[in-house]
Homo-oligomer: A and B are copies of this chain.
């Protein structure tokens, strides 16, 4: 087993076990080389591999740092975006793009088990982590179930939607059905998320 690979695995384990917090600076290449009694290039090879893996980042003149943990969604627990990001050590924020009442939109109404002609509240929010756009959310609420929702004048940029529903309407979430959809980004979505429109091959 190559030296650089052993070193790579060792450092990775240290990071994953939490010996370094996200953003922490590692010892310099030269220091590590001296500590482990190997050549600097060998250390470098290990560090480079971890940079490629996304475990570390490095900046010339500054040092090598533990990268923020990758974004993963467990698909098992029902957590709010805000909780999620906090757990990852990222600063979550929200931009409310629109908050409106719309009349019948058939498909959504069917999904919510409503009649054909009911009104719904549509909330469009852009979710950010450390000010980088992460997700574009659209929430649909039946007006009938949440009377006076708009009059509450809750600022959904700061208040949790889950919390608001619980506080004002006594809603407790027991189950949730999450839907994942992989599709091509529309122009608007791409602009919001800062990604590329369409298919990448």
Contacts and interface: CB of A to CB of B under 8 A. Distances in A.
A52 B75 CA distance: 31
Contact of A182 (B73, B182, B201): B182
A72 B52 CA distance: 24
Nearest to A70: B201
Interface residues of A, number: 10
A180 B201 CA distance: 12
A2 to B, nearest CB: 13
A168 interface: no
A73 B200 CA distance: 10
Contacts of A182: 182-183
A167 B72 CA distance: 52
Nearest to A48: B48
Number of copies of this protein chain within its complex: 2
A40 B75 CA distance: 48
Contact of A72 (B72, B183, B201): B201
A73 B201 CA distance: 7
Interface string A165-201: 0000000000000001011000000000000000101
Nearest to A182: B182
Contacts of A201: 71-73, 75
Contacts of A71: 201
Interface string A59-74: 0000000000001110
Given A72-B201, A182-B182, 7 more contacts: A52-B52, A71-B201, A73-B201, A75-B199, A75-B201, A180-B199, A182-B183
Closest 9 CB pairs of A and B: A182-B182, A72-B201, A73-B201, A182-B183, A75-B199, A180-B199, A75-B201, A71-B201, A52-B52
9 contacts: A52-B52, A71-B201, A72-B201, A73-B201, A75-B199, A75-B201, A180-B199, A182-B182, A182-B183
